[in-house]
Amino acid sequence: MPNMLEVRNISARYGNVTALHDVSLTVGQGEIIVLLGVNGAGKSTTLKTISGLLHPVRGGITFEGEAIDRMSPESIVRRGIAHVPEGRHVFPGLTVRENLVMGTSNRKVTRAETESDIERILEIFPDLKRLYTQMGWSLSGGQQQMLAIGRGLMARPKLLMLDEPSLGLAPVIIKQVFRTIKSINEAGMTILLVEQNVGLSLKIAHRAYLLETGRMIRTDTADALREDDGFRNALLGVT
Ligand code: ATP
């Protein structure tokens, strides 16, 4: 199967600090790929470089065969990559519905299309249906995460990038979030996930990449990595 996304030997910098060195990864249509690594390894920077918030100083990125590494974030969203950033960023003063509608702002859509997309998203997230008219600020962390993912889906992406969706959530809610990510993938969505929750990520992902201090040091199938105690322990910080 041809790769949907190809990141080839990219380096990225914040001023004088090089955060990514020669990083490569691929995402095939229909896959869940997880990008693992400890704090500061460069996971968020990789997503920011793909979504055009940062341009690589070396290397290239193609999406469906087209070079995107010089494009603006708006052009990249329009081509079908949605980025749900770390920390959710739900609009506190807008309702659930209004937050969802904000997700369409990069596309021209008819009112009827917006309504049918919202319907579809409320089926994926029944909680949001119940909270439809509530303000963003009044939602729990888990509900805000679901809303942030739902807003990402409103852009009708071909590739959904999720940055640490489990961050700061209770274990039972984290499980729910992962179940939802898996079901979105089973319905056909390709997903690039950044996570620190190694166990659950390797349960739902097809393949994984490991970043360490800005370098990609390992990649394998999730099945192989799940069986590799050394790999898991290194990431979990246990010996
Ligand atoms: P985390 O889980 O903490 O977000 P991460 O793996 O996503 O970690 P990045 O946020 O990509 O890591 O950070 C990679 C490196 O780049 C770190 O050394 C970090 O300090 C640095 N960095 C990140 N954002 C900036 C910035 N805006 N300016 C300068 N340096 C930055």
Using a cut of 0.90, tell me whether the model's pTM lies above it: yes
ipTM field: 0.94
In the Cβ-directed half-sphere of 193, how many Cα atoms lie within 13 Å?
Answer: 33
pLDDT in tens, 82-120: 999 998 789 999 999 999 999 987 667 888 889 999 999
Mutate to test the pocket of ligand 1, among 18, 43, 167 (most ligand atoms within 8 A of CB): 43
Nearest CA to ligand 1 atom 19: 40
Three-state DSSP state, 55: coil
pLDDT in tens, 120-143: 999 999 999 999 999 999 999 999
Residues of the chain whose pLDDT is less than 70? 1, 106-107, 234, 236-239
CB under 6 Å to ligand 1: residues? Answer: 14, 17, 19, 37, 39-45, 86
Confidence at residue 144, expressed as pLDDT on a 0 to 100 scale: 94
List Cβ<8 Å contacts ≥24 apart for 215-220: 215/21, 215/22, 215/23, 215/42, 216/22, 216/23, 216/24, 216/25, 219/25
Confidence at residue 1, expressed as pLDDT on a 0 to 100 scale: 60
